[in-house]
Structure 1
Amino acid sequence: MVSKKYAKNIVSESIAPPMNKESMNEYKKMMEDQKKAGNSVEVNMLYTIQDSIVKGSFHMGASWVMNLKGTKPVQMELANTHDCDEVLGFAGSDPDNPRELGAEVELWLEDEKYIINKSCFVFIPKGMKHCPMLIRKVDKPFFGFGAMPVSNYGRPWEGKYKEASYEGKKGSPALKYAKYIVTEKPAMPQLSPDAKRMFEDQKKAGNSIEFIQFAKIQDSIVKGSFGMGASWLMNLKGTRSVQVEMAHTHDCDEILGFAGSDPYNPRELNGEIELWLEDEKHTINKSCLVFIPRGMKHCPMLIKKIDKPILNFGATIDSNYERPWEEKYNQ
């Protein structure tokens, strides 16, 4: 079999990025101390991508948070700041109720405490102190993911873990940073005439896809944020694949994410997607991240099979992203 040049841009393995020794030791102590007290969280890291894994890529990672054991919230992160922006994403595992997280997460932004119980994006601007983050309740597994426009990321924690150091602490009542948390359903994008024709022609031929865009963030929504979005690909109708994107390039890097909706078999996409990178056709049937460097022609993208709903998300290091399709749709 001839190897494909851009296969290296697709990451489906669970590769843990390096963490500095001090942060690693503090993380281990934090988790071990809580486990000894009878409180723990089961987390399945799905995948990570960054420059050390795929040359040139910015950072993105994702995990499934499966369950919570014990009588107290479990702290997962210590307070930290970093010298680049960050967007965190939280998505529930029930595509029929995409706005519901099915869990409760406590997240601190500076001195303000927020309780997250809806699927959402959180923008954390450069220099903002954020966390601790605690898992307070898990009724159903949820998907946690995030991106940073930096080559390689290691947790730069500030301070030491102290058991129950934040339990019961009240946040500032001002909630100055509530604007950084986006839970509202995004407006549907305005489709170009050619995009409308693409979907209409396929529907007339009896082929269509149901999808639900449930989260979006960018500069026009939260000032200063780069772009991220998330949708559920629900089902496919008809006898043929459905094309959802036309070939294009853009002047910023992009990462596309695909995740199966079964958190107990997280590597299985339970579907099949055809994605073109330059002149190479790639068939995606595993949960994965795809790095698309600036200037790379990518797509068309076709949905070939959906056995179970698929979580489709992505990030572009650009303040506001629009599809710059470069070709006409030909049925």
Structure 2
Amino acid sequence: MKRKLFSITLVLIFLILISTVASAEQFTKIGSGSEPAIDDGKVTWTNNGVIHVYDLTTKKETAVNSSAASHPAISGDKLVWHDESSEIPRLTVYDISTASKTYITQNVDKSSIPAIYGSRIVWSANSYVYMHDISTSTQTKIADGDNPDIYANMISYDSYSTEDTPQIYVYNITTKKAIDVSQYGDNMFSHAYGDKVIWSDFYNRLGNIRMYDITTGQQTEVTTGNDKTGYDTGGSTDTDGNKIVYLKHNNLANIDSGDLYIYEIDTGKSKQLTSGNTSQTPAISGNVMVWSDSGNIYMLK
């Protein structure tokens, strides 16, 4: 009987080891640094103020000539990042194919974090949202607000407007009209994709994630954490297609890191991908996710 139990135990240990190895093989370290962003088969991040680009097809990493760079964003072959190499805040726009740079200096401050889609870049400065169109070299003040994101013809952002707490608005570039999609709560850090917007509610949910479908007008509670199940950081989320990636933390003193989860919009179910409570800044494009952890950039595809 003891031999049988011993054999069963060995089998269980073997299966656990196989599972652990298989799980670990799914995660690929692609570089060192933080703040990864991904689009169209390319990953970018910053390491000690230098921008790096990794091509998923060729598996080649390239360091871009840069310094004092932070918060990179990517769309196609265009990069944009916050730049203080001149000791004056500005946004650097970089063309990967030509290695050429241009700069956005007007209405940029130390907290301006850019987002890009196609030829359009959005950011906020002094609580105003701005858009710069690379193709036409035109810059527009969109609205009072902060933390904008852009997808196609849609800009999402948070703004106090007439409320005591920030609400999430979606601005249509064509009609030049904005709608409040959150309606209640203390809402920040929106991300847009397709006809959906996600954000974090800090009013009484401490960062739980909510989603609004512009087509149907339906709002969904993506996460509903509490003291027992752990809170969701909200500030570190991203969405693409049918998926939302987010961090769930169990330490209110450190909400910038946590365990990585993926939420399937169609099924309404979440799955935990990492453990250790040390993952940061997840991003997603298609079926590929990237994030930083302890100074390294990881990928799951």
> Per the shorter chain, which TM-score range?
0.3 to 0.5
What TM-score does the superposition give when structure 2 sets the normalisation length? 0.34
* Higher normalized contact order (CA 8 Å, seq sep 6+, divided by chain length): 1
What TM-score does the superposition give when structure 1 sets the normalisation length? 0.32
